[in-house]
Structure 1
Amino acid sequence: MVDNFMKCKYAWEKFHGAVHSLASEGDLKTRLIRAYVFNITPLNRDNDIPKELLERYDEFVHLMTKVPAQGDEGSVAATVNKMDEIEMERATDLIIGLYDDLCRFMPNHYA
C-alpha cells in the first residue's frame, strides 16, 4: 500500500507543478508547454498514474503531442503552437482536472 501511495504522490507532485506552471507568467501557450515538458513528461503512464485516471491522462497526452516535431521544436511545442483557444482550454482543464482527481484519489484510496 505504501508503494501505491508513493506512486500516486509522485503524480500528484508533478501535476501540482503543472498547475503552478499554468499560474505563472507568460502567454498561455508558453505556460502549457512548460507545464507539460517540465512536469508531466517525467511521469511513467504505467507506474505513476492510477488506473482509474488512465483514460483522461491518455487523452491529455494525445492532445499535447499529436503534432510531429517540426525543425527545432519538439512535438509538444509544435502541437501547442497549432492549438486554437478551445484546445488550449481543454488542455488547461485536463491538467487542473487530473490534479483535482489526484488530490481526491489519494485520501480515498491510501489514507
Structure 2
Amino acid sequence: MVDDFFKYRYAWEKFHSAVLSLAGEGSIQERLENAYVFSIIHLRRDNDIPEELHDDFEEIVALMTASNAAEGRVNAAVNAMDELERSSVVGKIIGLYDSLCRYMPKH
C-alpha cells in the first residue's frame, strides 16, 4: 500500500486540487474548466493513474476535450455541455478522486 501511495500521489494531489476548484467560486463552467486545465490535464494515464481507473480517467478526458476547436478546446467542450452533462462530469471527477483516496495509506 505504501508503494501505491508514492506511485499515485501525484494523481491524488491533482484530483484533490481539481475537487477544490470544483468547490470554489465562479460558474459551474468556470470551475469545471479550471479543475481540468489546472489539475487533471497534467496527468498521464499510464504513469499516474492506477490501471483499474484508466477507463474512468479516459472518460473524463474524452468529455473535457470533445470539441474540435483548435483554441479553447476544453472551454468549447464545457460550453457545449448542458447543465446535466456538466454535473455528470463533476460527479465523475469527484468519484475518481474518491477512488484515488483508497490508494492512500490510512493515518
Task: Indicate yes or no: 2:66 matched with 1:66.
Answer: yes
What's the CA shift for 1:45?
1.2
Q: 1:69 & 1:84 partners in 2: Cα distance?
A: 18
Q: 1:19 & 1:63 partners in 2: Cα distance?
A: 17
TM-score (norm 2): 0.91
Unaligned runs of 5+ in 2: none
Q: 1:44 & 1:33 partners in 2: Cα distance?
A: 18
1:41-84 residue CA offsets vs partner (Å, 9 max, x unmatched): 111111000001001111111011111125xx421101001110
Once the two structures are overlaid, the 10-residue window that deviates more, 60-69 or 8-17, is 60-69
SS of corresponding position for 1:41? helix
Task: Indicate yes or no: 2:86 matched with 1:95.
Answer: no
Query: Are the aligned partners of 2:33 and 2:78 in contact in 1 as well (CA < 8 Å)?
Result: yes
Corresponding residue for residue 80 of structure 2: 82
Corresponding residue for residue 39 of structure 2: 39
Percentage of identical aligned residues: 58
The Cα RMSD (Å) is: 1.8
Unaligned runs of 5+ in 1: none
Q: 1:103 & 1:21 partners in 2: Cα distance?
A: 17
